[in-house]
Amino acid sequence: MTIDCKNMNQSAAFSAIPFFCLLFLVSFGNSQLDYKYYDATCPNLAKIVRYGVWSAIANETRLAASLLRLHFHDCFVNGCEGSILLDASSNFTGEKNAFPNRNSARGFEVIDAIKDNVEKACPSIVSCTDILTLASRDAVFLAGGPFWPVPLGRRDGLTATETAANTNLPSPFEPLENITAKFISKGLDVKDVVVLSGAHTIGFAQCSTFKQRLFNFDGAGNPDPILDASLLGSLRNMCPNQDDSDSKLAPLDAATSSKFDSSYFNSLVNNSGLLQSDQALMSDNKTAALVSLYSKLPFLFSKDFGKSMVKMSNIGILTGQNGEIRKNCRLVN
Ligand code: HEM
Ligand SMILES: *[C@@H]1O[C@H](CO)[C@@H](O)[C@H](O)[C@H]1NC(C)=O
Ligand SMILES: *[C@@H]1O[C@H](CO)[C@@H](O)[C@H](O)[C@H]1NC(C)=O
Ligand SMILES: *[C@@H]1O[C@H](CO)[C@@H](O)[C@H](O)[C@H]1NC(C)=O
Ligand SMILES: *[C@@H]1O[C@H](CO)[C@@H](O)[C@H](O)[C@H]1NC(C)=O
Ligand SMILES: *[C@@H]1O[C@H](CO)[C@@H](O)[C@H](O)[C@H]1NC(C)=O
């Protein structure tokens, strides 16, 4: 049975159902969101976003990964409210310059182009953060991954915080317990850590994010002993032991770097995770058991990825009269 708590008419408001709905609304902070939120006010939204993501990926496959990561970096810093999209201004330094984003976060032009088209069709109706949420879902789907329905109605924030981006986003150099703690502080759990790490089935990382594993992991000139020997050899070729290799790129999931599948988990099982933080999922019994499960059951990963993404997309959202609908995703109105 499903009851639509948001689209009830007046007479229903005097029946027993709304009391149930009241409890429902109180118990879930995200219940202001609605799958049909823009159906009346921007009926072509889904098509406009889908086309924008499709054309971006048609030109450059990697943008699917970049958009997915952008949404993650939006949601983990003061909630999914589009703060990562804001350029620096006189009121704040912005998150684009924070360590995890600088020379790394990409895909902003794709969101700008989609926003331009959305503004032409329905001006000042759709938030930038909802566009980014939809775009990341479409990016996964167009890269061969699962599809999941996205509840909408988030509003855009009025500020951005460089220090929050530096402290809230996980680093590939910190231990699994610290990464897990960051997820838990956002209302996610250990399972979400494993499932959402599966996003690393697509996209690339710069040598600077894993080079410490290749040459002098222990301070005595040895590589990370866990790293698969043949992968070590190819990574040393891609990332020679000199500073000018820092920004070179390696695929996060070498087996199928542009396909959203579950081979990331196979790689972890055979010691071929790229980032130290990826491989660390095998160092804890609980996360290792989940990795092993997803490597064996790709369908379960697809299903759980959609569920965890919806949870992530609901972190710290603004609704009602909070925030605004930005006209330009880079600027507060
Ligand atoms: C669990 C902790 C995580 C850590 C430590 C981490 C760290 C990183 C690092 C260091 C990179 C490479 C960035 C660069 O070299 O420029 C990266 C790339 C990426 N991350 Fe994560 N990440 C984590 C979780 C996630 C999550 C939850 C998602 C999405 C749901 C995600 C999606 C991506 C994607 C798609 C890329 C490739 C981006 C591209 O090619 O443009 N990551 N991540
Ligand atoms: C296509 O991608 C290239 C980089 O791969 C970029 O320089 C160019 O501007 C893109 N073209 C369009 C139309 O987005
Ligand atoms: C900075 O904040 C003030 C007060 O909220 C506002 O009037 C002004 O437009 C903001 N400036 C920018 C560049 O966002
Ligand atoms: C991990 O978290 C602990 C406790 O908050 C902190 O003291 C430590 O510096 C963190 N480690 C890294 C590598 O960030
Ligand atoms: C590990 O798994 C990956 C992805 O499935 C595969 O490409 C690679 O060949 C495997 N390596 C070893 C040593 O089995
Ligand atoms: C984790 O697994 C190892 C070996 O598989 C075992 O020795 C250890 O007791 C397990 N730890 C916990 C907390 O279950």
Q: 73, 96, 311, 326: which one is catalytic?
A: 73
Domain of 242, CATH number, reads 1.10.420.10
Which residue owns the Cα nearest ligand 2 atom 11?
59
Is residue 314 one of the residues assigned to a domain?
no
For residue 264, being part of any structural domain is answered with yes
Known catalytic residue: 71?
A: no
Ligand 2 centroid to Cα of residue 57, in Å, is 10
Residue of 32, 64, 59 lying closest to 316 (CA atoms): 32
Domain annotation covers residue 3: no
Let me know whether 212 and 258 are in one domain.
Answer: yes
Residue 16: band (very low, low, confident or very high) from pLDDT cuts 50, 70, 90: very low
Closest among 109, 72, 92 to 158, alpha carbons compared: 92
| Domain end residue (candidates: 103, 135, 169) | 169
Longest dimension (CA), the chain: 75
Residues 140 and 180 in one domain: no
How many angstroms is it from 41 CA to the middle of ligand 6?
A: 55
Asked if 155 and 286 sit in the same domain, the reply is no
Give the number of the atom of ligand 5 that is nearest the alpha carbon of residue 267.
2
Cβ(164)–Cβ(78) under 8 Å? yes
Classify residue 206 by its DSSP letter: E
Q: Are 19 and 164 part of one and the same domain?
A: yes
Residue 58 CA, ligand 2 centroid: distance in Å: 10
Same domain, 155 and 119: yes
- 142 and 39 in a single domain? The answer is yes
Distance, CA of 135 to chain centre: 11
Report which bound ligand comes closest to the CA of 326. Answer: 3
Instruction: Tell me the per-residue pLDDT of 168-188, one tens digit each, with 9 for 90 and over.
Output: 999 999 999 999 999 999 999
Q: Residue 93: inside a domain, yes or no?
A: yes
Do residues 251 and 266 share a domain? yes
At position 19, the amino acid (one-letter code) is F
In a domain, 5, yes or no: no
Distance CA 122, CA 132 (A): 17
**Are 203 and 252 in the same domain?**
yes
Grouping H, G, I as helix, E, B as strand and the rest as coil, residue 34 is strand
User: Is residue 331 included in any domain, yes or no?
Assistant: no
The whole-number pLDDT of residue 30 equals 55
How many Cα neighbours within 13 Å face the side chain of 95?
32
- Does the annotation list 79 as a binding residue? yes
Residue that is last in its domain, among 169, 202, 220: 169
pLDDT of 300 over the 60 cut:
yes
CA distance 51 to 170: 31
Measuring from atom 12 of ligand 1, which residue has the nearest CA? 205
Residue whose Cα lies nearest atom 18 of ligand 1: it is 205
Average pLDDT over residues 75-99: 96
Structural domain that includes position 40: 13-169
Looking at the structure, do residues 97 and 160 belong to the same domain, yes or no? yes
How many domains does the chain fold into? 2
77 carries a ligand binding annotation:
yes
Domain for residue 323, yes or no?
no
Task: Identify the domain boundary among 169, 194, 227.
Answer: 169
pLDDT (tens digit, 9 = 90+) per residue, 96-132? 999 999 999 999 999 999 999 999 999 999 999 999 9
Average pLDDT over residues 260-277: 98
pTM of the model: 0.91
